[in-house]
A and B are shown apart, each in its own frame.
Chain A
Amino acid sequence: MNILKNKKAIIGISAAMVVFAAIIILITGFDGIDSDKIEGTEYAQLTYAPNVPQTIERDHPTKVIVKLETIQVTGRLADGVNYNFWTFGGKVPGEMIRVREGDEVEFHLENSPLCNVPHSIDLHAVSGPGGGAVASQTIPGHSSVFTFKAEHAGLYVYHCATQPVPLHIANGMYGLIYVQPKRNLPAADQEYYIMQSEFYTNGNYGDQGLQDFSLDKALAENPTYVVFNGAVGALTGDNAIHAKVGQTIRLFVGNIGPNLTSSFHIIGVVFNKVYLFGGTEVTQKNVQTVNIPAGGAAVVDFKVDVPGTFAIVDHSIFRAFNKGAVGSLVVTGEQNKDIFSGKQQDNLFYGSNLDKEVQTSTIQSVSDNSSSSGSIEDIIAAGKKVFSTTCFACHQLDAKGVPNLFPPLAGSDFLNANKERAIGIVLHGKNGPVTVNGKNFNNVMPPQPLNDDQIAAVLTYVYHSFGNSGKTVTKDEVAKIRSQKQVSLK
């Protein structure tokens, strides 16, 4: 009996173990995440911004060899402006590195013999002293090798960490390393690499020629330039990034500072998913602006459903407008009017609450003086005030107008021929071609936000001046025309 019982128990336990193992295999093996064993060796693909190394398709970790050369180069910071950049790989930002979570990364830092200072690298993806900085201190004409395990998936900044560190960063020594998660993010159609940074020069923004580093501006955290991908215009025009309507676009965005936090934004785009701080989880959906700290990163995914050029900016907006922090995303493809119509109407607008404005504005005093009970001199005086605050801007103080633009009121056949028409034009404006004293004009006169007293006064003033016919316009005449729904302006 005992033996039989034991047998049953053993069979039961064995069956349970088989089921358990099957479940484990199902969970792990199904996604292809079946190995943590390092297999093989390969060289990392490195890309210059805005390009991103291709997705790693491997389902196992490997030994990845990364070689980065530090070199000092004189290059373009803006049109006609040069700077002695210190770089990883000869450009700012440095080459982007992509490895897979679990990879063993053998890192070679090669300091060009043409450099005149030592360099090193601190990769924020590295767990270890200085992120590799101590192990990679390298004098010109030497190279250093160290190895680290890419333990933590995510997007990380790297930078030079040789003293004085702020100077090495300010001169251009930074880039991004992406540790692709074992379970990769959903595929995107386009991936791009953008790095924001500041430059501090002794000269002002746009001052021509080779510019020196300004320690004073750096200490004051007052950059001369704030740029994407190392220079003004490095992400616009021929350097713009591209996508097609409906594609999923993924941006790997870093900000090195060295001082400022970025308010990363694309005008006319909502980020569908944000992996804040470059982590591996979607932290928020439908985000307008992403904060990226100095020495930090973010991954953003979005779709653009209509064609056009979309400005990439630091929405700390003076940096975009005055210091260079602008890029372009050019999207091509079919228009979709349901998503965005484009401009449907172009109308004139004269402000809201007209009546209220008229009654409470300074014109009130004019109105008081121009009441119909006043003498003709009072009315003309009030009309002159209206003319010299409203009409003169186009028709000029001498009422002679501006040739080809604004018709004259002085000695105007058009004005003198028809008083009612003149009242109607002041009330409702005039749009399109008109011939005055034999000259053709084609422009827009907006309706004037004046009350009946004011219109009567100003027209009376104009008719009594400038060699005109001397007609008088009353408040009642204005009121009568105002009350007519349709006024012929012909």
Chain B
Amino acid sequence: MNFRILNIVILIFAITAGSLAQFKSELEIHSKKILISCGYYVPLFKDDGESSKFFVKSFYLDSKPVSNGEFLEFVKAKPQWRKSKVKRIFADANYLRKWKGDLQLGKDVKAEDPVCNVSWFAANAYCRWAGKRLPTVNEWEYAYSKNFFNHKNELNSGNSFYEWTFDFNRINFQASSVCGGAGASANDPKNYSAFLRFSFRNSLKANYCLNDLGFSCVADSNKIPSEVIYSENY
């Protein structure tokens, strides 16, 4: 099947944009959204009683992780998520660590680079503010398996970038699979890159803010015109 046809790229129009200037800036900083058409996904791990493959509904994925510039718009609109205001139960002391101030990025932080050092609570709040949501683990891994993310997990090169998922700690991965046992319960014990991601997610708590951890937004696809909904797996 032809992904170029299926994955129609649609620009987000800032419906609530007040002024032309604001409209322009949103055009510059907002990423495109990509339709991820529905299909089946075989997770690395599953809970007892779950089926070995999941059906993932079609959804829109932002083509890039949320940027510093986009997140700045969010904290301008929502003061409780500014660096000096945020409560520690929602974000630890590393929240927006590289930013210079509440509304200043600082010279080492580029507006177009992915925002890091954000907690799950902050990422989730951003998504709600933007009218979107965080992807589930299954949605994220499904999209990753179809090469919709640029970032790779190298097995030891140290160039990793991780993203929050809505249900990041859904599978109790470590407790059930300490040391060598994990391979036995995994669908593909040779998928070390997936192990790294599951392991990373499993070590997280929702208020953690880490250097290599950002997020992408997704949106449900039920507003998509019916003619573009299609999958070979239907």
Contact = CB atoms under 8 A, between A and B. Distances in A.
Interface of A: 72, 83-84, 86, 113-114, 116-118, 122, 129-130, 133-134, 137-142, 161-167, 171, 212-213, 215, 219
A141 B211 contact: yes
B212 A118 contact: no
Given A116-B212, A139-B204, A162-B199, A167 B173 contact: no
Contacts of B223: none
Interface in B119-134: none
B210 interface: yes
Contact of A163 (B154, B158, B195, B204): B195
B200 A118 contact: yes
B192 A219 contact: no
A84 B210 CA distance: 21
> Which 10 pairs across A and B sit closest by C-beta, in order of nearness?
A164-B195, A118-B203, A163-B199, A130-B178, A116-B160, A139-B203, A213-B156, A84-B156, A213-B155, A116-B212
25 contacts: A84-B156, A113-B211, A116-B160, A116-B211, A116-B212, A117-B160, A117-B200, A118-B200, A118-B202, A134-B178, A137-B174, A137-B202, A139-B200, A139-B208, A140-B211, A141-B94, A142-B208, A161-B179, A162-B199, A163-B173, A163-B199, A165-B180, A167-B196, A213-B155, A215-B190
A108 to B, nearest CB: 17
B15 interface: no
B157 interface: yes
B94 A162 contact: no
A167 to B, nearest CB: 5
Given A84-B158, A164-B195, 13 more contacts: A116-B159, A117-B199, A130-B179, A134-B174, A139-B204, A140-B211, A161-B178, A163-B177, A163-B195, A164-B192, A167-B156, A171-B156, A215-B155
Interface in B75-99: 94
B192 A134 contact: no
A133 B159 CA distance: 25
Contacts of B180: 165-166
B50 to A, nearest CB: 19
Contacts of A116: 158-160, 162, 211-212
Interface string B126-164: 000000000000000000000000000011111110100
Contacts of B212: 116, 140
Contact of A138 (B154, B162, B175, B203): B203
Interface string B159-172: 11010000000000
A116 B183 CA distance: 22
B209 to A, nearest CB: 8
A129 B156 CA distance: 27
Interface string B178-203: 11101100000010100110111011
Contacts of A167: 155-156, 192, 195-196
B9 to A, nearest CB: 30
Contacts of B183: 164
Nearest to B198: A163
Contacts, number: 90
A130 B158 CA distance: 26
B155 A163 contact: no
Contacts of B202: 118, 137, 163
Given A84-B158, A117-B196, A139-B208, A164 B178 contact: no
A145 to B, nearest CB: 15
Contacts of A130: 178-179
A166 B162 CA distance: 21
A162 to B, nearest CB: 5
A295 to B, nearest CB: 10
A142 B92 CA distance: 11
Nearest to B175: A134
Contacts of A117: 160, 196, 199-200
B155 A212 contact: yes
A162 B199 CA distance: 7
Nearest to A172: B156
B203 to A, nearest CB: 4
A133 B195 contact: no
Contacts of A133: 174, 178-179
Contact of A212 (B157, B177, B178): B157
A164 B192 CA distance: 6
Contacts of B154: 212
Nearest to B208: A139
B182 A165 contact: yes
B114 to A, nearest CB: 14
Contacts of A162: 174, 199, 203
A57 to B, nearest CB: 35
Nearest to B93: A141
B179 A165 contact: yes
Contact of A219 (B159, B178, B190, B199): B190
A51 B113 CA distance: 45
A165 B198 CA distance: 12
Contacts of A137: 174, 202-203
A201 to B, nearest CB: 10
Contacts of B94: 113, 141
B151 to A, nearest CB: 11
B217 to A, nearest CB: 23
B163 to A, nearest CB: 13
Nearest to A214: B155
Given A171-B156, A213-B155, A164 B175 contact: no
A64 B113 CA distance: 44
